[in-house]
Structure 1
């Protein structure tokens, strides 16, 4: 791809091509739906999203060179004797199925303190591979945020010539294959030589043999009495439920073993529950299968990890949330009522028949047009089982009554019937300490669709701008924004876009406003900070001094152009 790199042919300069532009564009060298792709002595350059033969059912790369930033490699590939230059931290978005395998490869890590392989944790095997970097302190990990179930495989890895363990900070994610039969799927010793078992990895059902190794593999099997061509490379556990309640539910566990490229094989499994999890769940085996049964006698839900292994050295794990038995919802011993101090801090007060158990009641605050609670519009909600007892009034609340709706719940119960409380009087101006400042982390922000332009309220809706007409997408009113855990490269919790065209507008109460300023804390989900998944027209507009009726303002546009 010569969009953004010069193509230079040292042996025949007449074939040289100058790059088309200075902008760094996505390469996407070969996107395909083919099978049995074989590349030898090829150089894949252009770095950004190079994607060589992404989509192939099988792809084998031998003695090839790769330049990589993010999302650059074939996630289903077998790489033998290749050298790879990593210019950013995650060359795979994710691998697929049984993953990607690297054998006898060299990795040159450029200007990174941390090197990961995947954005989304997924299987990778590294066999006889060498990493080089200016520092011996380079952190090598499979992915930045691994799930407890992630298991990847390594054998004989070095960093700057010294042995190194991937994911040393969380070694449970790395299965070392020294002395394990599973290593035979990747390499074996025969007649004094090391052989890399591309045939066993690539053969699938039709015996594809790109390096003509079948005869050698069969001879070695016979001479050494070993299994070289039908060796599983992946063990996987799946649970029928992500969460179960003790005493009421069981989770059925499916166990699967695969040869490379997703070919099922039979493997005998050894189960393991570490002592720190044994008070939460136990394994039950019967004619119907294998189950995890919850026995959590505590007060809160906890995470339980079931592990499995094979004699050949494969490992797998599955995580299940196990809750204690759910109790009836508590009732109110003191019904809700609202109090307020001189600074405009409103508080809903109540008590539950709930001795010794943590309160997890859901509280929603509303603005109402009168003391009867009419025309109620939500302005704050509880999340993550943390009751929102207080609400600080702002200028937008002046003239409205505040109502709190409490749905009672404790740490062991479901929600009970809600009760409401309304302030004795409407909010007044003298209760507002900072009338011209709005500060929110959106933790309590009501995210449901609200398409009305209304003074003092947020408009939560979707919109497709006219300048995006050439791109085929449509808005959905059911998908605007949500508050939750961050994705990909972002960290923590915050307000996230739930669909294309999500829009969030604030309309102040009538008045003359000027000298506005905005401080916005954002963390792009894309690790390199480019903000959007691809250069297909998306942008983010940040409005300042925005008039929601005339649609005019100052605007900062953030756009990905390449």
Structure 2
């Protein structure tokens, strides 16, 4: 029930009279009741007919309400700590409030052990949670009037929060022959473990200069960390904050490897990187160093005419649900305007390279971004992440179309981007757009398409559904990749998932 306050069945109820009624066998649509407002507007000249029907049927057909609105419509409260006050407003059509209307509050009998309702003198309703289970419960509180108006509120009832559990066994680390490292610990509790396990690279066995590289999400402790070439030479530290479904994270315990990670302990293929977006750290991290993701917000020079500044007061990215067209997906999403991500691989020379990912824009009509004010997303490839040199695919909204964007190949020199191809207009940049950017020798190519069905405007051959483009480039030795988004976030963001990078 996403919008429980918007729909009600009116058949056989007094409520229907607000819209239509019968008098002497004639069906009368009650436009006068709906439009009269406070100034007695009667564009259909129905007033006299409606007033006459009132006398004949001995019923009122004016000033009848059409809406019962309950606030808040959705909330959450904790048992033993919080209550929630619900208020109901009865409106005539046009949001004209009717005072002194009796509202009845109720919950289903099956939910009677989860909460109590207390109706106050002013007609509002206090919800008192009594959830004694170990899980969050949902409760629908209904409000209705004698005429048939209905409204409802969806409430999440949290059980009473407990103290975080103590460790019965402190964290220890174990490096396995399959190229993973795991943290092991035990908590004195009967709940499912939801501890926050975070992984850091440190400069010594004391845990100095920690840089967060992986975290736990979705209430799933990140117990096993896959070693990579970026970990070599660093001590790894695991921080464990004990947690379960009925407590906040407790005081953490740390454990650090005694020795730095050796290259012989890394078993994965360093030429292929399936980026674990679910557990990647999205904290602001401005340092550019081999084996590290660099995350910040940045305003490129070619956007400065639109007078905005990038701020790094908050983390630039988040991992989680998108919005609008991306609401059903989970992935890496821009949290702030100017969100930028760069990765610097370990090594001195790289040749052919391939990046593939699925883009899920919040915009669903193919426009990709909120406006055509130099809002774009660049996909870096063969990139010098420190000097900002290399190449990129630019996805940019223009004034040409409201349902398509331009794909343009770019060359970066010292942070300044210059087109090296003609733009290709395409309407495939909508959920889910699969994009492959590849460098082979001296050729940069792009393949983008969308396997979902969507409306294609007829007789518009200049807008393609599949992007196939290429350009000749000057080969370089860099192997960095990344993303730069200059659009607004929220409904203008793009969720990124299924990210994989290959070096050859």
Runs of 4+ off more than 6 Å: none
Q: Which residue of 1 aligns with 2:231?
A: 397
Selected match of 2:216 from 362, 379, 382: 382
| Alignment partner of 1:464 is 2:272 | no
Q: Among 60, 83, 105, which residue is 1:227 paired with?
A: 60
Indicate the SS of the match to 1:319. Answer: strand
C-alpha distance 240-287 of structure 1, shift in aligned 2 (>3 A): farther
Contact 1:546 1:553 in 2 (8 A): yes
Contact 1:395 1:436 in 2 (8 A): no
CA drift at 1:368:
0.7
1:284 to 100, 118, 143: 118
Quote the offset at 1:148 in angstroms: 5.1
> How do residues 323-472 of structure 1 correspond to structure 2 at under 5 angstroms?
323-354=158-189, 356-432=190-266, 433-472=268-307
Structure 1 residue 287, shift from structure 2 partner = 4.6
8 Å CA contact 1:271–1:308 kept in 2: the answer is: yes
- Unaligned regions of 5+ residues in structure 1, if any? 1-145, 153-174
The answer to whether the 8 Å contact 2:73/2:154 transfers is no
- Whether the 8 Å contact between 1:381 and 1:388 is mirrored in structure 2 is yes
Structure 2 residue aligned with 1:550? 387
The alpha-carbon distance between structure 1 residues 368 and 514, as it changes in their structure 2 partners (threshold 3 A), is: same
Counterpart secondary structure, 2:360: coil
- Which whole-Å CA distance do the structure 1 matches of 2:384 and 2:255 have between them? 35
Residue aligning to 1:203: 36
Cα distance in structure 2, aligned partners of 1:465 and 1:185: 57
Counterparts of 1:328 and 1:221, CA distance in 2: 64
Higher relative contact order (CA 8 A, sep 6+): 2
Partner of 1:9: none
Kindly indicate whether residue 160 of structure 2 is the aligned counterpart of residue 320 of structure 1: no
CA RMSD, Structure 1 to Structure 2 (Å):
2.3
Label 1:297 to 1:536 Cα distance change in 2 as closer, same or farther (>3 A): same
Unpaired runs of 5+ residues, structure 2, are: 403-504
Provide the rounded CA distance (Å) in 2 between the counterparts of 1:216 and 1:259. Answer: 20
For each residue in 1:523-546, what CA deviation from the matched residue of structure 2 results, as whole angstroms up to 9, or x when unmatched?
222233432234443211112222
Over residues 122-181 of structure 1, what are the superposed CA-to-partner deviations in whole Å (9 max), with x where a residue is unaligned? Answer: xxxxxxxxxxxxxxxxxxxxxxxx6253423xxxxxxxxxxxxxxxxxxxxxx2222222
Whether contact under 8 Å (1:394, 1:435) holds in the other structure is yes
**2:82 corresponds to 1:249:** yes
- For residues 333-370 of structure 1, the C-alpha deviation after alignment (integer angstroms, 9 at most, x for no partner) is 1111111101221111111111x211111111111111
1:273 aligns with 2:110: no
Shift of 1:241: 8.2
Q: Corresponding residue for 1:489?
A: 325
Using the alignment, how far apart are the partners of 1:442 and 1:407 within structure 2? 21
SS of the equivalent of 1:357 reads: coil
CA, structure 1 residues 196+457, in 2 after alignment: closer, same or farther (shift >3 Å)? farther
Q: Where do 1:33-432 residues align within 5 Å?
A: 147=2, 149-152=4-7, 175-190=8-23, 192-239=25-72, 242-266=75-99, 267-287=101-121, 289-354=124-189, 356-432=190-266
| Per-residue deviation, 1:278 | 2.8
**Aligned partner (choices 517, 532, 536) of residue 369 of structure 2:** 532
**Following the alignment from structure 2 to structure 1, what is the Cα–Cα distance between the partners of residues 340 and 260?**
30
Cα deviation for residue 202 of structure 1 reads 3.1
For 1:551 and 1:194, locate their aligned partners in 2 and report how far apart those are by CA, in whole Å. 73
Partner residue in 2 for 1:502: 339
Give the distance between the partners of 2:163 and 2:44, measured in 1 at CA: 66
Query: For residues 439 and 275 of structure 1, do their structure 2 counterparts lie closer, same or farther at Cα, with a shift above 3 Å needed?
Result: farther
Distance 1:428 1:527, change over 3 A: same
Contact persistence 2:5–2:73 (CA under 8 A): no
The answer on whether the counterparts of 2:140 and 2:153 sit within 8 Å (CA) in structure 1 is yes
Please give the alpha-carbon distance, in whole angstroms, between the structure 1 residues aligned to 2:73 and 2:14: 30
Q: Are 1:523 and 2:321 an aligned pair?
A: no
Aligned residues: 394
Q: Secondary structure at the match of 1:183?
A: helix
Aligned 8 A contact 2:282 2:317 in 1? yes
Q: Distance in 1 between matches of 2:28 and 2:44?
A: 11
Alignment check: 8 A CA contact 1:363 1:381 kept: yes
Instruction: Mark the CA change 1:467 to 1:431 in structure 2 (over 3 Å): closer, same or farther.
Output: same
Cα distance in 2 for partners of 1:314, 1:475 equals: 49
Alpha carbons 2:73, 2:152 under 8 Å: kept = no
Secondary structure of the residue aligned to 2:357 is coil
8 A Cα contact 1:544 1:553, kept in partner: yes
TM-score (norm 1): 0.66
Are the counterparts in 1 of residues 292 and 345 from structure 2 also a CA contact under 8 Å?
yes
State how far apart, in whole Å, the 2-side matches of 1:434 and 1:187 are: 72
More strand by share: 2
Q: Is the 8 A contact 1:307 1:318 kept in 2?
A: yes
Does the residue aligned with 2:353 lie in a helix, a strand or coil? coil
